Structure 1
């Protein structure tokens, strides 16, 4: 019998054993990493609105802002199954979030007379109670601006929320203890049509916890233990941005000044470039975006639009017809109708030059860049009307100058409080109104003069005026 060569077998066994130990250690590390935090900050994302991309950007900024604060909790996104896969991958790989895919909950209140279609899928927020891997979850809307870390909220009880309205708590931020029994009961109440005054998650959750108004205020225990029961959160954990505008600074004495929310008009959310300086806090939200997510996604479009607007300014100026050719008048029974139609076209062109840039400029770019691009775009489009109808430049650009002045009036940093700021903006608008009226009168007079000088430009290639035209001079 031939003896075995143990010297050759031993290294192989040693390598296999070492590989097995490394593999087990890696699995243990991954498991420990997954279970590193017992609490989570969660938000939700669903599709089906014209503002899907805007909320996607807002959620990413929210997540990156929380990560920058080094919160000791997982970041969770409750995403409906129709959220695009590239967005889900960006949330997971770039933002470090755990994405939980869910089916959209049917909203049984969609036939109520006061129902707002914006809230069709907000019942997906109830899925927060199904996140039973966590002890506590802070559920957030995308329009929250964190000023500092708020991990002490995880010490709160089974349900905690802030009363922005004196009688109704706000569901833009609340603390909950996940529970499948509570989740199933909520779904059951949803199916049987529990009373809901607004048809959205706000009304449903408020009716599910009607006793919260009478509950004590939350104060985090110094020893770090978690409380039981329901509590009202201090106002500083969910400050309505409206309070800021009264004094142009925060001074909430009943709790930490930690989180700002923007529950007002949907077209004045902080991520819209036009919301600043109407909303002074919008610049703070964009500062967080600049420091975290950046603006790379929109910069290509911004550069293309800048080139287009500059090209329009140059081309309209070069294409302006020579005044020496405008020396014919046609006597026609329809000339009044033609002139009226051209006046209407000219007015609409001027109005469109101030409206169109708001529509085409990317909504989520930085306000300073957005307003600069808006002023450039409105100037370029106004030049089309000025050169096509031979209008005086200054009267047409009076609204443009007025908008620029309004930006300076609203953004002035030297107002002592919000009331003085509002009065100064009102005074500016009142004093500017006569200049706007004079500009309108001069623009209409210039348009009338242009049309009387020439109803139509001479046809290309004609060396003599067509029949029906008489020379003016």
Structure 2
């Protein structure tokens, strides 16, 4: 198996004897989001005054502008060729793990005595340089049987690196086809190893060790009690091994998952939101102008006669089946339009903006589209706006910082949903009923429009 690596930033000789490293590769729908997450994590380490180099092991397919950005932020980038994944054809293989085997390149960083290898979804609360005192391999068990590869300590070794490449080339058993399955099989006896305790004299240990849980605190522990109370070692690092679309950098992850706001606070203090704010400002201005114009039009024509949608009812003999489908589409179309009022603004908001900004623009955009929808379909205002009020309400309920624990919070959200359901049902019925009224009046209005014409023709004959 042929692999290659090189330093992407010329002259980037090691400044420290140890390093924090992560990997970055392309080919997933969320490449940019992970790029942002890596930048935030690296800057967080720098703010905690890590006495180590910051390294990104990047595939050669990573855009050069991203590499330049990382270099400007003090991160050393090591370019590598992607390691072919022999497990991609196995049942249940997830394509987003295609190049996670690149993680073993960490063993090739032999300029360093120790390397702490990280996933991008780690959030550091304190300095963790004591990890560099650990042995040849150290990892944390957040699962009773398998250690987690989101953070582990290693001693670089070309011999170990080449041996791992042979394991991959031979396609030995790997339960997930990714780095997790590879490393848990390679260090299969780690569960039997002693727990790591940093030597007080600052010396480095030899051998394999288990890391205390405080170095990989699963975010789900927090959601149960809404506070940290992990007695195993220092509470230093939070990890988010959750559903990919609920990673903390996505604006919609908060207030669904409360810790998302903590991650964005770290981003605010590090790289900021300079690239997204102009986009959000433009969207907000567009929504305000659109809503204002729509309200002006509604007020100007509110006193004029409403012109119903044209149909064949009462004017010509149409087949019953055609009438049925026409009425069905006409009644469902405003409901679909109301749903789209929330979907459309959602997809144009940059994915990694601050949650408060993201939700604010979503509510503004959906309100603007709802006003337009009410005007176009001549819908009653309060039923049309009920879903908007419901969403705003549930955001407030989820975001309130008054809950003792996650169970109380879940009960509060469930109670709100139970109480809100009848109002949503009422709103749906009112919207559909407003279309029924239009159909009931339309034949009479059609007849009324035809009668003067018939009278005029009779007068001409006379």
Matching residue of 2:369: 381
Matching residue of 2:305: 325
What is the CA distance between 1:345 and its match in structure 2? 2.2
The partner residue of 1:437 within 425, 432, 437 is 425
Q: 1 CA distance for matches of 2:254 and 2:307? A: 48
Matching residue of 2:40: 61
The partner residue of 1:226 within 179, 201, 204 is 204
Kindly provide the CA deviation profile for residues 170-198 of structure 1, in whole angstroms up to 9, marking residues without a partner as x: 11110011111111110110010111111
Superposed, 1:290-309 pairs within 5 Å as: 290-309=268-287
Q: 2 CA distance for matches of 1:45 and 1:349? A: 40
Residues 468, 85 of structure 1: alpha-carbon distance in 2 compared, 3 angstrom cutoff = farther
Matching residue of 2:117: 139
What is the CA distance between 1:454 and its match in structure 2? 5.0
Matching residue of 1:251: 229
Q: 1 CA distance for matches of 2:216 and 2:452? A: 73
What is the CA distance between 1:313 and its match in structure 2? 1.1
Q: Is the 8 A contact 1:276 1:282 kept in 2?
A: yes
What is the CA distance between 1:261 and its match in structure 2? 0.5
Residues 451, 286 of structure 1: alpha-carbon distance in 2 compared, 3 angstrom cutoff = farther
Match of 1:161, SS state, is strand
Q: Is the 8 A contact 2:134 2:153 kept in 1?
A: yes
Q: 2 CA distance for matches of 1:468 and 1:71? A: 87
What is the CA distance between 1:428 and its match in structure 2? 1.2
Task: Tell me how large the CA RMSD over aligned residues is.
Answer: 2.2
Kindly provide the CA deviation profile for residues 32-68 of structure 1, in whole angstroms up to 9, marking residues without a partner as x: x944311000011111111111111111111111111
Match of 1:191, SS state, is helix
Matched, 1:41 2:29: no
- TM-score norm. by structure 1 comes to 0.87
The partner residue of 2:191 within 187, 208, 213 is 213
What is the CA distance between 1:405 and its match in structure 2? 1.1
Q: 1 CA distance for matches of 2:383 and 2:45? A: 49
Kindly provide the CA deviation profile for residues 241-275 of structure 1, in whole angstroms up to 9, marking residues without a partner as x: 00011111101111100000100111110001111
What is the CA distance between 1:453 and its match in structure 2? 4.2
Matching residue of 1:22: none
Matched, 1:104 2:92: no
Matched, 1:170 2:158: no
Residues 468, 347 of structure 1: alpha-carbon distance in 2 compared, 3 angstrom cutoff = farther
Matched, 1:76 2:48: no
Q: Is the 8 A contact 1:354 1:378 kept in 2?
A: yes
Match of 1:41, SS state, is strand
Matching residue of 1:356: 344
Q: 2 CA distance for matches of 1:244 and 1:469? A: 74
Q: 1 CA distance for matches of 2:420 and 2:453? A: 42
Q: 1 CA distance for matches of 2:75 and 2:355? A: 28
Kindly provide the CA deviation profile for residues 64-104 of structure 1, in whole angstroms up to 9, marking residues without a partner as x: 111111100000000000111110000001x1010000011
Residues 426, 469 of structure 1: alpha-carbon distance in 2 compared, 3 angstrom cutoff = farther
Q: How many residues align?
A: 433
Q: 1 CA distance for matches of 2:235 and 2:69? A: 31
Q: Is the 8 A contact 1:132 1:180 kept in 2?
A: yes
The partner residue of 2:397 within 399, 409, 413 is 409
Q: 2 CA distance for matches of 1:108 and 1:63? A: 31
Q: Is the 8 A contact 1:327 1:453 kept in 2?
A: no
The partner residue of 2:415 within 427, 436, 447 is 427
Matching residue of 2:3: none
Q: 1 CA distance for matches of 2:145 and 2:258? A: 28
Matching residue of 2:293: 315
Q: 2 CA distance for matches of 1:354 and 1:190? A: 46
What is the CA distance between 1:114 and its match in structure 2? 1.2
Q: 1 CA distance for matches of 2:15 and 2:326? A: 75
Q: Is the 8 A contact 1:327 1:454 kept in 2?
A: no
Q: 1 CA distance for matches of 2:144 and 2:75? A: 34
Matching residue of 1:275: 253
Match of 2:123, SS state, is strand
Q: Which moved more, 1:123-132 or 1:327-336?
A: 327-336
Q: Is the 8 A contact 2:338 2:373 kept in 1?
A: yes
Unaligned regions of 5+ residues in structure 2, if any? 1-9, 455-462
Match of 1:325, SS state, is coil
Kindly provide the CA deviation profile for residues 207-246 of structure 1, in whole angstroms up to 9, marking residues without a partner as x: 1110001110000000000000110000000000000111
The partner residue of 2:93 within 112, 115, 125 is 115
Unaligned regions of 5+ residues in structure 1, if any? 1-29, 459-463
What is the CA distance between 1:469 and its match in structure 2? 10
Q: Which moved more, 1:381-390 or 1:131-140?
A: 381-390
Kindly provide the CA deviation profile for residues 308-329 of structure 1, in whole angstroms up to 9, marking residues without a partner as x: 2112212333344546332677
Matching residue of 2:460: none
Match of 2:329, SS state, is helix
Superposed, 1:188-207 pairs within 5 Å as: 188-207=166-185
Q: 2 CA distance for matches of 1:307 and 1:448? A: 36
Matching residue of 1:366: 354
